Structure 1
Amino acid sequence: MKWFGRLALLGLVAALSAGGLVSVQLLRSMPKLDGQVKLQGLKAPVKISRDSSDVTRIEGASALDTWRGLGFVHAQERGWQLEFNRRLMRGELSEILGAATLDTDKLMRTLGIIGMAQKQLQGLSPATQAALQAYSEGIQNAWLSGAVRPSPEFKLLGTQAGGPKGQAWSPEDSLGWALMMALDLGGNWGQEFARLSASKVLNHEQLWQLLPPYPGEKPATTVDLPALYAQLGVYSPKGQTKAFPFTAAPNALAQWSADWVRDVGILEGKGSNNWVVPGSHTVSGKPLLANDPHLALSSPAIWYFAHLKAPAGELPGGHQHPALDVIGATLPGLPFVVLGRTQGVAWGFTNTGPDVQDLYLEQLDATQPGQYRTPTGWAAFEERAETIRVKGQGDVTLQVRSTRHGPVISDVQAQYKGLIDAQRYAISLRWSALTEDNKTVEAGMLTNWAQTVPELKKAFIHNHAPMQSVVMADTLGEVAYQAVGKLPTRSPENDIRGVAPAPGWMPQYDWTGWLPAEQNPALGHQAIEAKGWHATANQNILPPGYAHFVGGDWTTPERFERIEQLLAASPKHSRESLQAIQNDVTSLGAKALLPTLLSAKPQHALGDQALKMLATFDGQMHAQSAPALVFNVWADELTRGLLVPHLGAERFQALYGKRHFRAAVEGILKRSDAFWCGAAGCPAQVSLALDRALVRIADQQGTDMRAWRWGAWHPAISSHKPFGKVPYLNAIFDVRTESAGDLFTVNVGQYWANDPKEPFANRHAASMRTVYDLADADQSVFIYQTGQSGHAFDPRSRDMAAAWASGNYRLLQQKSNAVHRLLLTP
């Protein structure tokens, strides 16, 4: 894409220099905020207004018209985002981006997202189907009306919404996007691959030192995985192929595609914080609820804040519904508020992180190609041909294979090539979301009418995937916690327990059913009242003595423990105190390793000065902090020094970045582990890592340590798709701002340390922050990292960035406070 980026930039500059004509075109493609627009499909006028916080209020004479109005707004504000995501989940990116994204298209075709969405759509209630249809009509007719004009991405890529087929969005696309969110928040698949890969070069004990269990727990399996895989002959014979056949991608977009395919299914960092405080522990006497979901930062943001209103009425299927009055975060692609509040009740999500993805080793029949082994003998793969259109070249035909467990992903994920013996084995995926009875979108609709905690719980019974830890609070004073989603059950004979690829021909490794929803982890009002709060931060959420296996790949508890410290520090909380907790940048992860860093004996000329500075470091990851910069670069260098010699540079690079291996490093240092630290010993590794860190920092920030700043190396980058990967264009389409936090702070700032250009850039953080005040709905607040508009030349596309980085908020009000007014008429 280098040539494309340069040509596009030159064309853009030339166009801008042309002046008036292009200015008019840019203005015409901006979202229309005032006036009147005709929209086909409406039964009555729909009022659309933006308030002083730029929250969009959509008020129709019926729920169906309100959803049509939301479709229109998503199309006008986030048209390119919808188009890119539609192509992504359908495996149609290469049609407009060329061969660079073939890896991504092949994976999506193999997973069969849209095919499954079509099946799931048929199982939804007539009311929900009608809601999805109305929303899709709103998007489609927004383009047909001419009121929504293509944003610059369409012009630069020479495409249109919906492509040659002309279908900008459909109900099945909404189902598909719900599946994509489940894919983004699923994590066991990637951990299973990591254990498979590491088992080739480590023994059983070393494997669990590299990927240790949750603190205080034992490994989820006692099976000696390296021995099992060696006995089965899983790995490619030595010398046959490289362990990791990765080569430098021809351009940045191809590298993004390859990395995205490789990293699908990695949970680490895909977290969130939420907590609820009952009225007995708040200043107002009514509950407070806080939520900040941690997702990959993007431009435009993943969320769009809206307020949906409609009177009571009836939907197809005889569904009688009360008045609709719900405000919060919507996902472009879905017609409901996903995270938010009604007049009566508020809710917030974090990722539960259950094990709902299992990989299976499918043994191949050496005498009869196209056959794999099952408990009852050999069976033929299910096969289908997928044709992928590729810009600039001929069509590519992909032969997709599936087994009784699910799609064969080793055919389309490059990391398996050269790792497993492809003549003997393939690897398939079983994933809870890919079932026809998945009714997660049904839950989404029903939550928007709930007014009490019991009504909200009833709505969430339909939630399937992804499984979420939900805190809830209503204006009556009730609070609750519930893990919502479907958990697979496994046989007592399943000794691998889904933590690594299992022999697919052995029936004890098959799922045996689903855990009843009423047995999911939960906590009622009285238990929360007794403690004073309930918080989740992707830690182990299971109560003592819980009878069912949920998973073993929990996020380490530093964020949770810090939230608990801060909630316990005050007997009464206010909205402002919860905001302060959300923006806390004390890193318990840094505090755990800081004594080790202070024991270093560096040889670098700046070493003594660095140690003197670090001696006063309190673990606060402020953007202005020099010690925060030194600590994080040192931790990266130490991790590399300890692990690369044993994993090999290529395997380490493939596993690192989206994983930080901090728990492994802490364990190695605590044990003074001779295997990992090598002949020189752990103290030498600590000192050498500091020397290397100081060389790296001084090379870029100079030798004046007083001028060093963590934020300079830790900008929050909300990256555009795809122009965030195109040189020159990324300067226009990305949103960047210096940020605080690290991997372990409540105000999280996850960096991908294997990134060759900006390894400490903040890529995965609070995708929004909200605090809901159940005493006064209009004192609730929100913020996220870009802005409501998805148009790169619109100031509204980045007008929240500075406030988000500095810990400020906007009011989230259900009362009318219109600054802009637009009327949609039939």
Structure 2
Amino acid sequence: MKWIGRLALLLLAAFLVAGGVLAAHILRSLPQLDGTVKLTGLSAPVSITRDAADITHIEGATVLDTWRALGFVHAQERGWQLEFNRRLMRGELSEILGSATVDTDKLMRTLGIMDMAKKQLQGLSSATRSALLAYSEGIQHAWQSGAVRPSPEFKLLGVQPGGASGQAWSPEDSLGWALMMALDLGGNWGQEFARLSAAQVLNKEQLWQLLPAYPGEKPASAVDLPALYAQLGVFAPKGPIAAASQAAPTALAQWSADWVRDMGILDGKGSNNWVVHGSRTASGKPLLANDPHLALSAPAIWYFAHLKAPAGQWHDGQAYPALDVIGATLPGLPFVVLGRTQGVAWGFTNTGPDVQDLYLEQLDPQRPGQYRTPTGWAPFEERSETIRVKGQGDVLLKVRATRHGPVISDVQAQYKGLIDMQRYVISLRWSALTEDNKTVEAGMLTNWAQTVPELKKAFTDNHAPMQSVVMADTLGEVAYQSVGKLPTRAPDNDIRGVAPAPGWLAQYDWTGWLPTNQNPAVDHASIEKKGWHATANQNILPPGYVHFVGGDWTTPERFERIEQLLAASPKHTRESLQAIQNDVTSLGARSLLPVLRQAQPQHALGAKALNILNAFDGQMKPDSAAALIFNVWADELTRSLLAPQLGKERFQLLYGKRHFRAAVEGILQRSDPFWCGSIGCSAQVSAALDRALRRISAQQGADLNQWRWGAWHPAISIHKPFGKAPYLNAIFDVRSESAGDLFTVNVGQYWANDAKEPFANRHAASMRAVYDLAESEQSTFIYQTGQSGHPFDPRSRRMAKAWSTGQYLPLQQNGSALHRLMLLP
């Protein structure tokens, strides 16, 4: 038996050696925070310090050195994030992930993100191009120097930074990533598809009941869309929805398919921001708050940094002032996107304009490759793309485009089986895909602004996405401005971009761009009179505004709650604004609670559930049983009201990231027999509660005192791609219990069609910041993961608990250094 013992010792020794090698590799790949590193291209040493809040402070002798150093820092902290995003926007994911992501690559190649980025780069000023070049060189030289080592993702997938080309980042990649952010916040593309799909089975009245106009408004279009599409013969003669594959897709393939399918859906793609005039603050100076709502990811989308450089001159002799700006940067871009300088602070929300239009392009049955235009038949623009796929042969893609833009029905599967593709295809017109898009240049200029007027001037060239910006400076001035380019439409454009329009009729073409000085705005005097100005993706148009901006606003519950809380205090402080950001009272729940309380459940737990609901005030706290019951009931009710009329497959296609809550409220208010069916709305309400109680008790047991909303509503910051890999996701994802629902200020957007965790918080405050213009060093921030993108670095999860529990970290330009790294030429 001695040999067994010896073998066990040998195996143990081998295990310890292997573990030691792995641990050594992990430690070597962690970001270096102290010491010295040489970086090619610097003109002088650059100081990089990290303070107690883990904010990275970068100070160079020139702005080019500072931007080059920021590229280095993004490479060392977020190297995999940059690599994944570079491949995503270039349509090159399948080269490392295999056939699961071919759908995503096809969409990105069809949109032509990188082709347009290259064209837009040429239209920027030499100063901005040199900034982008310095930044990209910082990333490139970080890898080439060996100072940055690949994180585990590179090793697990066998990937080198930059792939076969070795080009880890380039100036056009920065332009491409700006376009990707515009794509994520772009407009109503997905809503147009929803109206097209629903129009196959609903009449005009029912269609606007399913996707109702903003409260108090009429539908943006009076056209009978179902009748129009029937008359044109748009729909396929059989089966509304493309048949699903018989083989169950992998989690990664399902992510890819869902990402492609859900492009352009507005529900949840929003944010909160508000600015309080000094007359309503304890200090007498403005306060500004911002929490952008984006899909939660690990690492987070943001990286907080402080960029500093003295005044100087560009290489061509052009002078620039001193740079001193702090806030949220986007890995891939060399400037602070959201933050403050010494003099001024700003915050974004998505304006939600209609800057994406879908067009029905009629095909010529006699001449393949031709589509109809106002002046006759014209050939498609065509190009060929080769998608390399790991583990199999290349995929060849023929990309088609019309005078409006790319043909997306070729690469979005939801059109197959819906429209008659022998007669029609669907193309996309999108404001961001124009060569004169200078959004990146506008972003660069904001970093030097010191006053509200200077900030407004900097935003002049912002193109896409269109953002609602609140601003405040240390002089006490405040303002609101919607920044971006808005397309104009002809008076006889009766569809107004709410649904696909006949592409061969000139009346539906865009006629130009609204002058930026006519964008929605609120001046200092108006804000002073009220005391504040807030936006939360509601209809932001001031009274009497004459231009059409869009019709797919987010319902106003978050905005109304912010208004309530701002009005409740005569004098606000930094702490009161933080409390508003973390408020979890759901006005969406409060509007439906009276209906739910009238339910007559048959379930054994029904009486206890109603007792809990009778005492419920709509606060979506993690330890609330009532919050759990309400949200599961709302999901069950939505399914039972809508799926029978839409059809199960169509409903599943449209539901999830789109919640249909306004439709449900309208149906119940009208006691609508079409949607509620023969059993009536009251019976539907009761039956939905029974199903909800069965569903919850099956997992959380029969003791309602133990039921918790937080157990079903964790905030999951998903890693790409290992968030879709069993076992690995436990290492690479970041999870924390969270509060809120779809309608709370502290939003907790869940995707109800997710097969495994339908109530998990997937889309929430990607960061929170409160800027104090009286004492700038008292400003605060937080986000949901941490600065490091390395999954084995404790800093990668450092902020998660603080974010989920409503805590903050100081946002200081003069924070004391805990770590100091010097970059040497």
Which stretches in structure 1 are left out of the alignment for 5+ residues? 1-13
Does the CA contact (< 8 Å) of 1:487 and 1:514 recur in 2? yes
Stretches of structure 2 that go unaligned for 5 or more consecutive residues are 1-13
Deviations 1:72-103 (A, max 9, x none): 00000000000000000000000000000000
Deviation at 1:314, TM superposition (A): 1.7
Q: How does 1:162-561 map to 2 (within 5 A)?
A: 162-238=162-238, 242-243=241-242, 245=244, 249-561=248-560
Question: Is contact 1:92-1:388 (8 Å) kept?
Answer: yes
Amino acid at match of 2:576: S
- SS of the residue corresponding to residue 718 of structure 2 reads strand
Shift of 1:752: 0.2
Letter in 2 for 1:681: G
Q: Which amino acid aligns with 1:184?
A: D
1:688-745 Cα distance to aligned partner (Å, 9 max, x none): 0000000000000000000000000000000000000011100000000010000000
More displaced 10-residue stretch of structure 1: 14-23 or 736-745: 14-23
Distance 1:79 1:136 in 2: 12
Contact kept, 8 Å, 1:244 with 1:651, in 2: the verdict is no
Q: Deviations over 1:625-673 (max 9, x none)?
A: 0000000000000000100100111111110011100000000000000
CA–CA distance in structure 1, aligned partners of residues 787 and 243 of structure 2? 41
2:807 corresponds in structure 1 to 808
Task: State how far apart, in whole Å, the 2-side matches of 1:62 and 1:108 are.
Answer: 36
CA distance in 2, matches of 1:505, 1:513: 18
> Which letter maps to 2:742?
L
Equivalence for 2:85: 85
Partner deviation per Cα, 1:377-434 (whole Å, 9 max, x = no partner) = 0000000000010000111110000000000000000000000000000000000000
Cα deviation 1:793-812 (Å, max 9, x = unaligned): 00000010000000000000
Contact 2:361 / 2:502 at 8 angstroms: preserved in 1? Answer: yes
Matched with 1:666 is 665
Aligned letter for 1:282? T
2:6 maps to what in 1?
Answer: none
Aligned residue identity for 2:173: D
Structure 1 Cα separation of the partners of residues 319 and 651 of structure 2: 56
Measured after TM superposition, the shift of residue 59 of structure 1 is: 0.4
CA distance in 2, matches of 1:57, 1:614: 49
Give how far 1:317 is off: 4.9
Residue type of the partner of 2:66? T
**What is the aligned partner in structure 2 of residue 55 from structure 1?**
55
CA distance in 2, matches of 1:561, 1:17: 60
The CA distance in 2 between the partners of 1:273 and 1:82, in whole Å, is 27
Give yes or no for contact 1:386–1:397 (8 Å, CA) kept in 2: yes
How many angstroms does 1:267 deviate by? Answer: 1.0
Q: Partner letter of residue 136 of structure 1?
A: S
Aligned with 2:48: secondary structure? strand
- Tell me the distance in 1 between the aligned counterparts of 2:211 and 2:316: 50
**One-letter amino acid matched to 1:521:** P
Report the more deviating stretch, 311-320 or 471-480.
Answer: 311-320
Distance in 2 separating the partners of 1:449 and 1:455: 8
Deviation of 1:20 (Å)? 1.6
- Residues 685 and 317 (structure 1 numbering): CA distance in 2 closer, same or farther, change over 3 Å? farther
1:578 match: 577
What letter matches 2:441 in structure 1?
Answer: E
Q: How many residues align?
A: 813
Give the conservation status (yes or no) of the 8 Å contact 2:52–2:815: no
| AA of the residue aligned to 1:42 | L
* Superposition map of 1:132-147 within 5 A: 132-147=132-147
Contact residue 221 and residue 495 of structure 1 kept, 8 A: yes
Question: Quick check: 2:242–2:413 contact (8 Å CA) kept in 1?
Answer: no
Q: How much does 1:17 deviate?
A: 7.3
Q: Give TM-score, length-normalised by structure 1.
A: 0.98
Shift of 1:187: 2.8
Structure 2 SS opposite 1:298: coil
Deviation at 1:571, TM superposition (A): 0.6
CA contact (8 A) 1:488 1:513 kept: yes
Q: Is the 8 A contact 1:16 1:22 kept in 2?
A: no
Residues 1:110 and 2:132 are matched in the alignment: no
Q: Which amino acid aligns with 1:693?
A: A
Alignment match, 1:822: 821
Separation (CA, whole Å) in 2 of partners of 1:100 and 1:755:
18
Question: Cα 1:704–1:359, aligned 2, differ >3 Å: closer, same or farther?
Answer: same
Q: CA deviation at 1:315?
A: 2.0
2:274 partner SS = strand
Superposed displacement of residue 476, structure 1: 0.3
Give distance in 2, aligned partners of 1:247 and 1:462.
49
Q: Structure 2: which amino acid aligns with 1:650?
A: E
Measured after TM superposition, the shift of residue 243 of structure 1 is 4.9
- Rounded to whole Å, the distance in 2 between the matches of 1:711 and 1:319 is 55
Q: Tell me the amino acid that sits aligned with residue 109 of structure 1.
A: R
Seen in structure 2, the aligned counterparts of structure 1 residues 480 and 317 have a Cα distance that, compared at 3 Å, is farther
Once residues 286 and 160 of structure 1 are traced to their aligned partners in structure 2, the CA distance between those partners, rounded to angstroms, is: 50
Structure 1 partner of 2:3: none
Deviation (angstroms), 1:318: 4.3
SS at match of 1:750: strand
User: Is the 2:746–2:765 Cα contact (8 Å) retained in structure 1?
Assistant: yes
Aligned partner letter, 1:361: L
The answer (yes or no) to whether the contact 2:353–2:486 under 8 Å persists in 1 is yes
Output the CA distance in 2 between the equivalents of 1:247 and 1:323.
61
Supply the distance in 1 between the matched residues of 2:779 and 2:174 (Cα, whole angstroms): 28
Rounded Cα–Cα distance in structure 2 between residues aligned with 1:649 and 1:210: 15
Q: CA deviation at 1:565?
A: 0.1
User: What amino acid is the match of 2:69?
Assistant: G
Q: Answer whether contact 1:388 1:395 (CA < 8 A) is retained.
A: yes
1:751/1:16 CA distance change after superposition, 3 Å = farther
Corresponding residue for residue 685 of structure 2: 686
1:795 matched to 2:799:
no
Distance 1:743 1:504 in 2: 36
Equivalent residue, structure 2, for 1:613: 612
Matching residue of 1:11: none
User: Conserved in 1, the CA contact under 8 Å of 2:440 and 2:462?
Assistant: yes
Aligned to 1:19: 19
Does the 8 Å contact 1:214/1:553 carry over to 2? yes
Aligned to 2:729: 730
Q: Given the superposition, is the C-alpha separation of residues 462 and 298 from structure 1 closer, same or farther in structure 2, using an over 3 Å criterion?
A: same
Instruction: Check conservation: 1:245, 1:415, Cα contact below 8 A.
Output: no
**Matched AA of 2:731:** I
Shift of 1:242: 4.7
Q: 1:16 Cα shift? A: 8.1
TM-score, with normalisation over the residues of structure 2?
A: 0.98
Following superposition, the deviation at residue 319 of structure 1 comes to 3.4
Say which SS state the counterpart of residue 630 (structure 1) adopts. helix
SS at match of 1:78: helix
Partner of 1:154: 154
SS in 2 for 1:19: helix
Q: CA separation in 1, counterparts of 2:673 and 2:154?
A: 57
Tell me, in whole angstroms, the C-alpha distance in 1 between the residues paired with 2:315 and 2:676: 66
1:816 is displaced (CA, Å) by 3.9
What aligned pairs does 1:113-124 form with structure 2 within 5 A after superposition?
113-124=113-124
Contact kept? 1:236, 1:420, Cα under 8 Å = yes
Deviation at 1:21, TM superposition (A): 1.4
The answer to whether the Cα contact below 8 Å between 1:245 and 1:417 also exists between their aligned partners in 2 is: no
Partners of 2:152 and 2:267 lie apart in 1 by: 34
The equivalent residue for 2:652 is 653
**1:616, CA displacement in angstroms?**
0.2
What RMSD in Å do the two structures reach over aligned CA positions? Answer: 1.1
Structure 2 residue identity aligned to 1:478: E
CA deviations over 1:253-282 (Å, ceiling 9, x no partner): 000000000001111100000000011110
Give the ranges of 4+ consecutive aligned residues of structure 1 lying more than 6 Å apart after TM superposition. 14-17
> What is the CA distance between 1:249 and its match in structure 2?
4.4
- Could you tell me how far apart the structure 1 residues matched to 2:420 and 2:320 are? 56
| Aligned residue in 2 for 1:8 | none
Task: Give % identity.
Answer: 82
User: What displacement does 1:792 show?
Assistant: 0.2
The whole-number CA distance in structure 1 between the counterparts of 2:596 and 2:18 is 57
- Rounded to whole Å, the distance in 2 between the matches of 1:270 and 1:609 is 36
**8 Å CA contact retained: 1:321, 1:449:** no
Q: 1:3: which partner in 2? A: none
Cα distance in 2 for partners of 1:352, 1:816 equals 34
